[in-house]
């Protein structure tokens, strides 16, 4: 049986892969692992109610989130955990509230940018931090033990967990977002695309409180339309709205609002690398960029690397995945990191990627400088990047194939110092990802196609 936890929690098709029974079992297992050390889960009586562990539970607006939330809450309460239910809020809001309410852990029900039939369960440790691998492993072990019939300590009487709704969570989170901005957004007209997702109320409210004139699209969730034609994975609607309304910029988040992409006044996409570059320069000027260092993944555009060099900033690169960015940020005490996909982490204000916060900080930079977003994003030039997925190959032999190593060496010789090659085996599928960057788009396509053929020949 494969590992339940992927790179961002447990995900699958709701009610097929991810069932109510699984959600309940995972919640009990999480309570066992993440609850306060030493908490007695037996019948402790009213006088020790305050010692019960506490969990914050939120979700995105997917229809399946309704029954999965019920299962999670039932599992936690049955394991003696008091549940603070915050309703439909972004993933970073649940992380923030887990920390601000000093809860023992948090639970978010979302499949992020995935289509509506999917859903997922993500756990946060105390303080709102993502779980380390060993904690996920312990939760999975406990879950499998329970599934095989091993009993857990079931509290009774006054020992069972209590469930309360925390409607104040919305205002607390929005106030936090607006409160960390370095300046108001007065004078800016901003289009906000909320992906019919978890930020459909939060993002418009935050930008309005910050002083922007807002036009909102993709903010009418009905449980079925999340990420459907809107949001950071479908930018056409944002680009069109920016042009139609003559906006200074547009901001698009994904379904759970942990990532953000943008559009400038001409409707051109501003990706995560460009956003990261803009914020890095702003934070360096403000003296908040720790070590003058930015953390990004190996998939960042070569243009980003060159821009950081020109700006005199250091770059730390990690494997693909925001969890690896976070790990490196924690290890070095760095304050800014992110991915091309729009996961941007500003550790002074958030413990995870926060799309609404990223959009606010980007807009604040535009307002503070009086410069158009296109000009600010011009700090880096995106080099042409070609990505080819090569399926049905043995991804485990990428590093040991001499034939493939020779093909990569030849590709790097052709590209010289103005290009880059990256071969990356997929972590979940039998395929290898071929990424090539070059100053010339035609050359990037030619080299990528040749490498894809080499992968098929060497690993097929």
Instruction: Dig out the tokens for 340 from the structure.
Output: 């091309």
258 is in an annotated binding site: yes
Q: Which of 27, 64, 110, 112 is catalytic?
A: 112
112 is in an annotated binding site: yes
| Beta strands 344-346; 118-125: pairing state | unpaired
256 is in an annotated binding site: yes
Report helix angle 91-100 to 168-179, nearest 10. Answer: 90
Instruction: Dig out the tokens for 431 from the structure.
Output: 């395929």
Tell me how far apart the alpha carbons of residues 377 and 273 are, in angstroms, rounded to a whole number. 9
Tell me how far apart the alpha carbons of residues 409 and 401 are, in angstroms, rounded to a whole number. 12
Instruction: Dig out the tokens for 238 from the structure.
Output: 């944002």
The answer to whether residue 112 is catalytic is: yes
Q: What is the largest CA-CA distance in the chain?
A: 74
- Binding-site residues for Mg(2+): 112, 254, 256, 258
Which positions are annotated as active-site residues? 112
- Binding-site residues: 112, 254, 256, 258
């Amino acid at each position: 049986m494969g590992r339940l936890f992927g790179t961002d929690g447990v995900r699958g098709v709701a009610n097929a892969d991810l069932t109510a029974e699984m959600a309940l079992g995972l919640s009990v297992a999480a309570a066992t692992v993440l609850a306060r050390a030493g908490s007695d889960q037996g019948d402790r009586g009213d006088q020790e109610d305050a010692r019960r562990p506490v969990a914050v539970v939120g979700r995105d607006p997917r229809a399946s989130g309704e029954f999965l939330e019920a299962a999670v809450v039932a599992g936690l309460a049955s394991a003696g955990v008091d549940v603070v239910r915050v309703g439909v809020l972004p993933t970073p809001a649940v992380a923030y509230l887990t920390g601000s309410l000093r809860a023992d852990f948090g639970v978010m029900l979302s499949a992020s940018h995935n289509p509506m039939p999917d859903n997922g369960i993500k756990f946060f440790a105390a303080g709102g931090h993502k779980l380390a691998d060993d904690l996920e492993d312990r939760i999975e072990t406990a879950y499998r033990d329970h599934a095989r019939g091993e009993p857990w300590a079931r509290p009774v009487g006054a020992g069972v967990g209590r469930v309360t709704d925390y409607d104040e969570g919305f205002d607390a989170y929005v106030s936090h977002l607006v409160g960390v901005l370095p300046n108001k957004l007065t004078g800016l007209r901003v289009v906000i695309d909320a992906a019919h997702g978890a930020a459909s109320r939060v993002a418009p409210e935050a930008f309005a409180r910050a002083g922007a004139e807002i036009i909102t699209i993709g903010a009418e969730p009905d449980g079925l339309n999340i990420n459907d034609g809107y949001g950071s994975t479908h930018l056409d609607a944002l680009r069109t709205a920016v042009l139609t309304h003559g906006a200074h910029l547009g901001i698009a988040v994904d379904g759970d609002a942990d990532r953000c992409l943008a559009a400038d006044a001409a409707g051109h996409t501003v990706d995560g690398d460009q956003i990261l570059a803009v914020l890095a320069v702003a934070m360096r000027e403000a003296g908040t960029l720790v070590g003058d260092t930015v953390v990004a993944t190996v998939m960042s555009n070569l243009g980003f690397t060159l821009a950081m060099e020109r700006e005199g900033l250091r770059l730390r690169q990690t494997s693909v995945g925001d969890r690896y960015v976070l790990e490196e940020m924690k290890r070095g005490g760095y304050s800014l990191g992110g991915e091309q996909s729009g996961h941007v982490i500003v550790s002074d204000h958030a413990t995870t990627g926060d799309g609404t916060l990223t959009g606010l900080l980007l807009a604040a930079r535009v307002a503070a400088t009086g410069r158009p977003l296109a000009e600010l994003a011009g700090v880096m030039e995106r080099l042409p990047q070609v990505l080819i997925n090569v399926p049905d190959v043995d991804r485990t032999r990428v590093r040991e194939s001499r034939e493939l190593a020779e093909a990569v060496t030849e590709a790097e010789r052709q590209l010289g110092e103005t290009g880059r090659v990256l071969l990356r085996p997929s972590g979940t599928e039998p395929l290898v990802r071929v990424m090539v960057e070059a100053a010339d788009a035609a050359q990037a396509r030619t080299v990528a196609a040749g490498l894809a053929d080499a992968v098929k020949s060497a690993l097929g």
